[in-house]
Structure 1
Amino acid sequence: MAYHYQELSRSIIIAAKKGSRDDFNRIVERYQRPIYGFVNKMTHSPTETEDLTQEIFLKLYLNIKKYDPERRFSSWLFTIARRIVIDYFRKKGRNKELFIIDDPENYFEPSIDPPNMGDKIDIQEAFLNLKPRYQRVLFLRYWKGESYRSISRKSHLSLNTVKTYIRRGKKELRRKLPD
C-alpha cells in the first residue's frame, strides 16, 4: 500500500529545526504512518517496527539541525530510516552477504565476487541510492533470505518481475560501486 502525503511546508520544518516542539510534533504526525509502513515492509514484525519507528524519530529529533532545507525533507527522513533498519539487521546478525548466489537465475558474474567488492560501507551507500523497488527485493532476498516466490507474494509482484528487479538492482549496484 503506497502512502500519499504532501511535503510539509518549509516554515514548519525550519521552525522544528530551530527547536519548536510543536512543529516537530507536526512532522511526526505527518510522517509517522509512512515511516511505520516503510519499516514494516522490511521487518514484518509489529514490535520491531514500533521500536525502529521510535528510534527513527529520536534520531530525527537529535539531528534535525543538520537538515539542509534545499533537499527534500522526505528523502532525507527516509534515508535516515533506511540506514537505521540496515544497521538494526546488521547488529542482530540477520543480514546475509549481499551477493549470495544459490541458483543461476541470479545472473552471477565474476566481477561481483564479494571478496572483490571492497568496503561494506561502499555497498551500503550504493544500496541506499538504488530505486526503492530494487532495494525492497534485494533486501528481502539477501538480508532476509526470502525465496523469489515469497518475495513475489509479499510484494504483490509476478515472479518474473521479482527476478527482473533483482537482476536490475544488482546491475545498478555494481555500476554504483567504485572499481
Structure 2
Amino acid sequence: MDDSRIVELYWRRSGDAIAETSRKYGGYCYAIVYNLLSSARDAEECVNDTWLGAWNSMPDNRPQYLAPFLGKIARSLAFNRFRAGRAEKRGGGELPLVLEELGDCVPAAPSAAQAVEDGELEAEIGRFLHTLPPRDCGIFLRRYWYGESLAEIAKRYCLKLNTVKTSLYRTREKLRRHLEQEGYAL
C-alpha cells in the first residue's frame, strides 16, 4: 500500500492504518531503534510506541513521506529510552558512541536543546548535508541517523574501516565549521 493511502487510513482513524504501517515500515523502524539501543525488547517497545506516536500526530500532520516521519518518531523514542537509563543497563548500543562523536560539532545544551526545539539546528544540519557528495552524506546518515556501526557502514560501501572513520571525522569537522559560520556556539 502506498504512503498516501496509509496516511488516509490514519486520518479516517481506521485500525488498519497501524497494521499497514507495521507491515510496510516495521523492519525499517526496528532497525533504526535496535542500532541505537541494541536491545530487542526495547526496540520492539519503541516501534510499537512509534505507531502510537503516528496515530496521535496524524490529525495535525499529513506527511508526504511516511518513512522519514516514522523514522524521526522512532529515533526520538530511542533517545528518550536511552536517557531514561534502561538502554545503558542492556549494553547501550551505538548511541553512546554516536553522541560522543557528534559532541564536538553540535552545540551543547541548553542552547542546542532550544535550537532543536525550534527546528533551526535540524534545518541547518539538513542544509549542510545537501552540500555533501552523496557517499559522504550516506555514510554520515548511516552513522548518525540510523546508528549503524562503523563495520556495517564499511561493508555497505565496500570501504576499509579506516576510510569510514576518516570520512566521518572530516564530515564532522566540516559540520562544526559550518555551524560556527552560521552562528552556533560550540
TM-score between both structures, scaled by the size of structure 2 = 0.62
Alignment of 1:14 with 2:8, yes or no, is yes
| Greater RCO structure (CA 8 Å; 6+ sep) | 2
Aligned partners of 1:31, 1:139: CA distance in 2, in Å? 16
Aligned residue number for residue 31 of structure 2: 37
Label 1:159 to 1:28 Cα distance change in 2 as closer, same or farther (>3 A): same
Aligned residue number for residue 73 of structure 1: 66
Aligned partners of 2:21 and 2:51 also within 8 Å? no
Aligned partners of 1:76, 1:153: CA distance in 2, in Å? 27
Q: Report 1:24-103 matches (<5 A).
A: 24-69=18-63, 71-92=64-85
Aligned residue number for residue 174 of structure 2: 171
Q: Could you tell me which amino acid in structure 2 is paired with residue 84 of structure 1?
A: L
Label 1:166 to 1:65 Cα distance change in 2 as closer, same or farther (>3 A): farther
DSSP 3-state at the match of 1:19:
coil
Label 1:12 to 1:137 Cα distance change in 2 as closer, same or farther (>3 A): closer
Label 1:153 to 1:119 Cα distance change in 2 as closer, same or farther (>3 A): closer
Alignment of 1:160 with 2:163, yes or no, is yes
Map Cα deviations across residues 153-173 of structure 1 (whole Å, 9 max, x no partner).
243352222231243145336
Aligned partners of 1:17 and 1:64 also within 8 Å? yes
Aligned partners of 2:109, 2:5: CA distance in 1, in Å? 47
Aligned partners of 2:10 and 2:58 also within 8 Å? yes
Q: Could you tell me which amino acid in structure 1 is paired with residue 170 of structure 2?
A: R
Identity, in percent, stands at: 15
Unaligned residue ranges in structure 2 (runs of 5+): 89-94, 130-136
Aligned partners of 2:46 and 2:77 also within 8 Å? yes
Unaligned residue ranges in structure 1 (runs of 5+): 1-6, 142-149
Label 1:170 to 1:73 Cα distance change in 2 as closer, same or farther (>3 A): farther
What is the CA-CA distance between 1:26 and the residue it aligns to?
1.2
TM-score between both structures, scaled by the size of structure 1 = 0.64
User: Aligned Cα RMSD in Å?
Assistant: 3.9
